[in-house]
Structure 1
């Protein structure tokens, strides 16, 4: 298939979900690409804040931005593609900080000057929820917000070192404000975890009562991190994101929600926006990594004695790895589109999370599909970017080539944005206890594995088998066991079930995307790409699939040959796939993938 304009346009539209916001995407990419050279007199904190303000200048007003929040996915994908650490700042500022205010404040304008500074980007916004002392700190928040009836203010306090908050709040001279999650104490009682808008720093440093630790480095995602503590910081009542709750003049406390778990889930429901948009960013990073690594391998020659001068991409193991990475990046893109659809349905339903089922973490109680999609897409992106790094040899680990930055971002979000391990544990535990979990697993999927419908049938069968097995284990547990006594021996199968559920969500998203392709010649290419994703995934997960009886040994033994055939089908179409799945020309300025890599690298280093 030659690269026809209609086919390229349809595949590009399938990959790029900016739709009506394509003009915004182009504007953001152009702005960021023009500002890619660091200023010599600028430290990291000031550069991030300046670039955040650049983005703010290209975005609609906050009320318009959140009225069509799919724009946030465009912002995240653009920032992540060009500058992964900047995307972390975007997440903090827009999705978590501004998103909390928009979702939980009765009227953001009533907050006054702090809100105006955040909305215009003059102040950098952060989100303070994680506390450093304990695991699952979101379920045991210790930072307190004590209501002072004499002044009508809240007094923010950090009762111990373990309650110190952690986020990217380091760096001197940058004005910052935070949405702080704290436990409200009013009328002598614990009223649950709410959020507050709190000014942290100005150009001179931390404000009174706010203590920032020295900067803590996190090499995977280089920003200025610090621990934050509060000592008697007074927060006006109007900066309480009360979400319909109130405290009367006589001190009476009223919350429309039905308990502390529901309130916690509602406070943390801002995570839905993160989970819905983050997959778009990591999918873009994964696609770019695969495209660059394929271009590099297509030009790079090897001097092994079997065939001196052979291009690296002619080697089967390189094809399996990098075409497999491209196929997985396509699957992550399909999952990213699905995540936005789930979020849109959730917004339309406008139902408050009730907090039911919080066990290992709060996240699946807020939104199970979105939380799981976050977990499996960041894991997939970390796997793709890591594979591409290694398959490019030394070049893959050099900072100017970008792969290390993409991998660091995806790997950091294994923990950030809701711990993926805990999300999958909770998902598996909940799935095993639902009524439909008792459905029969059905027979193992039949070949051929080189068809795009094979892997979705594998994932459905595997999820059903693991559900049935875990449900059976729960029922067989000795009478009277509950809580950790019941679940501690079952943590591994619960996680496996959560992973299988996530794999099925992604596989179904790929199926829907392939079905939407109209051009029959393009469909052949996309079907081969989807089938390769399934075959490579099955080979990677063969142990678990065999153990559950989902696949027979003969099917697993046949997979290398299946992958060979799919690679042969896709190799002639690499120009089309690279053009549609890669970043627009000029956006990602790296030597990797240039026709003459060594010359491009030397030119970059000489700047």
Structure 2
């Protein structure tokens, strides 16, 4: 196999391409990060109490620059641009992640709830102060006994007609609000999610603005706050617990965009179906998942930048008889450890770019189709899952690739590992999110299906004609397309077709559709056989997750392929194509057992994929430093002593 021509990188042009249309916003955040760079040292040296105060100060400073309010309406002091807001958040993730998460709680979760679930009276009362970080809030949804299953929260809000107030109560110990950022020390208000009851009848989960502390920071009557204590990471975020003992708030504190209660206690909503109303309310908060996914990609960029730069300085062993040791990155195994993950970071960056563009369009177009909105929510869930799992994996591999030096707190990996670990479970557990993705795939975003929980999914699929699902997926057509791009021989000799984007995409499409139709068949076969639908669904959950992950990996590759095609005149087109090839083939390689089991990859072809991945790593090795420099991470954010040492 002959080696491909050497690629080169125009780093400034690459940074411009990655920064996209919001380069100015990203540069503002970079400037803020550099100005507050000492927070990275504070994270290591300050105790938790002092560091929480330091992080709060950083948040308030950044709010004063306008960098944190870009997604809010201009009439309330924001920037009126959701896309710019996500770009700012992604860039903020280059710095200390306690700052990132506290900003996400304040402006994304609490602010997002007020903006998206409230109406003009709430916007006028709260937005300007929360945008400027004068009013700090928290997002009180999760309970000790209920995380992802929000529909069954234990907190109850009962309407008192005589006083025209809602009475909010923590009904059991398991109904306490838990893991709530900003709740332990700094929040004066909370967006509290509770089951609304009127005359003993439940109207489902709704959100309320509830004051929890006075101006001196003391708990208000009926409110009890607590500290969650030491955590694995994010020591600058005051995660806490909330209990409500008959706390009364005015009727106007109900966030009433989708439902309201009149003074005399009459409930009304334009969305009659309570399940659809619930999912509509949660759907408006999709920006949080988009933001977390983007932050995960940024964290992986930081880790891989440090690891690559260390591998270009540190030497170890050498050729027999040579006095000079080899650079770590000259070893094929080290390239294998870092460069496919670097390619995945690029792929997820461009997938995130597509997602953010869709979110921005949905936020500005009042006529954005409901079908597209559901697809957006599904894509946000899946992208968040892949991106945060990738962050966890890349940070761990980067740490190991730096040996003992990577274990030192002075080299950032300790904070990166500890602070990002929760990304895989907040804003939705990743496995639950992938089940949401699969739910949409199984029914082509059926209006009926969107209202069901995971057990309702199984019962609904029992009524589906599996032939319809198979016809929708058009597996036979995909097989025909795949045969058109498969090599003519099966001995691995026709290897150049491995670099054909059509071949790469056809492989991922075929897997996605095959796994999806298999899930539908298994569900229907089990239920037709008399097995309880809940049990059937539990038995095929591994296939459900595989279907969703296959779908998302295909979308990621499509986004990367489209970006490379659109950049045909860009000076970095060839290197981007090589990085795309590395992502595609390493993805196929990672699941090659499945393709071999299903007759789509011979043993010879599988070996050819591995050889090509190795060749791509060797091809990209000379430009690895340029590829990480393209992320334009401020040097102050790398803060790794080992990069300053001579070896």
User: TM-score if structure 2 supplies the norm length?
Assistant: 0.84
Distance 1:325 1:384 in 2: 6
SS of structure 1 residue aligned to 2:238: coil
Distance 1:234 1:366 in 2: 37
1:299 corresponding residue in structure 2: 313
- Range with bigger deviation, 116-125 or 413-422: 116-125
> Which segments of 5 or more consecutive residues in structure 1 lack a partner in the other structure?
356-362, 598-607
2:207 to 174, 186, 195: 195
Distance 1:221 1:502 in 2: 29
Shift of 1:152: 1.3
Shift of 1:111: 6.3
Shift of 1:353: 10
Q: What is the CA deviation profile of residues 3-48 of structure 1, one whole-angstrom value per residue up to 9, with x for unaligned ones?
A: 67xx333311222232353453344333333655539696132122
- Range with bigger deviation, 322-331 or 519-528: 519-528
Return closer, same or farther for 1:378/1:247 CA change in 2, 3 Å cut-off.
same
2:558 corresponding residue in structure 1: 508
Is 1:101–1:108's contact at 8 Å kept on the other side of the alignment? no
Shift of 1:146: 0.9
User: TM-score if structure 1 supplies the norm length?
Assistant: 0.89
Distance 1:189 1:514 in 2: 56
1:423 to 429, 433, 446: 433
Is 1:452–1:528's contact at 8 Å kept on the other side of the alignment? no
SS of structure 1 residue aligned to 2:312: helix
Distance 1:581 1:350 in 2: 34
Distance 1:577 1:366 in 2: 30
1:360 corresponding residue in structure 2: none
SS of structure 1 residue aligned to 2:37: helix
2:597 corresponding residue in structure 1: 547
- Range with bigger deviation, 196-205 or 460-469: 196-205
Shift of 1:354: 8.4
1:271 corresponding residue in structure 2: 285
1:464 corresponding residue in structure 2: 513
Q: Confirm or deny that 1:83 pairs with 2:114.
A: no
Which residues in structure 2 correspond to 1:56-205 (within 5 Å)? 56-59=63-66, 62-64=72-74, 65=78, 67-109=80-122, 112=125, 115-134=127-146, 136-169=148-181, 174-202=186-214, 203-205=216-218
Shift of 1:79: 2.5
Which residues in structure 2 correspond to 1:218-237 (within 5 Å)? 218-222=231-235, 223-237=237-251
Is 1:451–1:527's contact at 8 Å kept on the other side of the alignment? no
Distance 1:238 1:478 in 2: 47
Distance 1:348 1:482 in 2: 44
1:369 corresponding residue in structure 2: 379
1:332 to 348, 365, 368: 348
> Which segments of 5 or more consecutive residues in structure 2 lack a partner in the other structure?
1-5, 445-468, 487-494
Is 1:169–1:224's contact at 8 Å kept on the other side of the alignment? yes
Q: What is the CA deviation profile of residues 503-559 of structure 1, one whole-angstrom value per residue up to 9, with x for unaligned ones?
A: 111111111111122446521111111111122222222233333444333222223
SS of structure 2 residue aligned to 1:299: coil
Distance 2:335 2:64 in 1: 43
Q: Confirm or deny that 1:31 pairs with 2:35.
A: yes
Distance 1:30 1:214 in 2: 31
SS of structure 2 residue aligned to 1:213: strand
1:250 corresponding residue in structure 2: 264
Shift of 1:147: 1.0
Q: How many residues align?
A: 588
SS of structure 2 residue aligned to 1:413: helix
Q: What is the CA deviation profile of residues 65-85 of structure 1, one whole-angstrom value per residue up to 9, with x for unaligned ones?
A: 362012222332232111112
1:282 to 274, 296, 315: 296
2:609 corresponding residue in structure 1: 559
Is 1:25–1:74's contact at 8 Å kept on the other side of the alignment? no
SS of structure 2 residue aligned to 1:416: coil
